[in-house]
Amino acid sequence: MTSARSDAPAVVTGGAGGIGSVLVRELLRQGRPVRVIDNLSSGRREHLPTDAPGLELVEADLRAPATYAAAFRGASEVWHLAANADIRRGTADPRVDLENGTLATFEVLEAARRADVGRVRYTSSSVVYGSATVLPTPESYGPLLPESLYAASKLGAEGLVSAYAHSYGLTVHLFRFANIVDSAMKHGILFDLFEKLRRDPTRLEVLGDGRQAKSYLRTEDCVAALLLAADRAHDRVNLFNVGNADRISVREIAEKVVAAHGGRARIDYTGGPRGWTGDVPQQLLSIEKLRGLGWRPSLSSAGTVDRTIAELVAARAASVPDRPAG
């Protein structure tokens, strides 16, 4: 299999997305040629420096390998980030995650095998743990019992990646993400809450009882973790949690968002411990394996949320609604 070289192209699927585009920019900054494969269904062309030397964008559907197979020729590694980013969408349409997650991952692995690409880095999710009874949850936790079709798709894809490593000699990295956020993302709790207040500045509906608590990590910290692990971990199969060392509740996040909009909106909780079908309300990953490689988050979960809210306010030029007359 082809070894990783600084002058060999890296393939990044989903490279026009929120995390993928940050990874692409960092690879380019390091002098790596990058070939992005993205169908632009949720990723955006403007996320990428399309005029940057060494960057090639292939607009293609991963389920149609003939349309992008050429992008794998001569590449030394694949970063496979493309997936359905909306867990609730997968519940409404059960084929979404099977096709855009598990089956698409199979096609990416086949393209890598046929092109003799020796390294695959796959971004999975903390939801593969289900409702873990051990917090912080280490990579060795089991059994893994997914509670959403999105989670099942991620776990199935992990199995394929591991099997290809052992069957065809690939070196693979599996990354289980906590909540990764920044102001460019068009999904997730912060985006959803800002959109709700844009539509109705007087009321903020929050799914669940507000006691859900998870860790949040900035995209820059996430990408730094990925690159460090890829550089320093060299087993056949390398598995890492990627998250923060602490967590923050949904109630705290909602209160911060309301405060950023002037503090006048009423917060209404829908009740129940779970925000929606498939949601894992309590999540905290152990990040000791990454710490052992020398990585640390630059911000806490609360700090991550605060910075992202400030960016969203600035980007949207959010204004405080006028106080009603009377």
Residues acting as catalytic residues: 150
Strand, helix or coil for residue 271: coil
How many CB atoms are closer than 10 A to CB 148? 21
Tell me the pairing of strands 119-125 and 77-80: parallel
Decide if 112 contacts 241 (C-beta within 8 A).
Answer: no
Residues whose CB falls within 8 Å of the CB of residue 106, separated by 6 or more in sequence, listed in order: 160
Between CA 297 and CA 299 the distance in angstroms is 6
Decide if 112 contacts 78 (C-beta within 8 A).
Answer: yes
Decide if 176 contacts 140 (C-beta within 8 A).
Answer: no
User: Can you count the helices (H) and strands (E) in the chain?
Assistant: 10, 13
Q: What's 99's DSSP letter?
A: I
- Nearest Cα neighbor of 214 from 279, 150, 148 is 279
Between CA 141 and CA 172 the distance in angstroms is 20
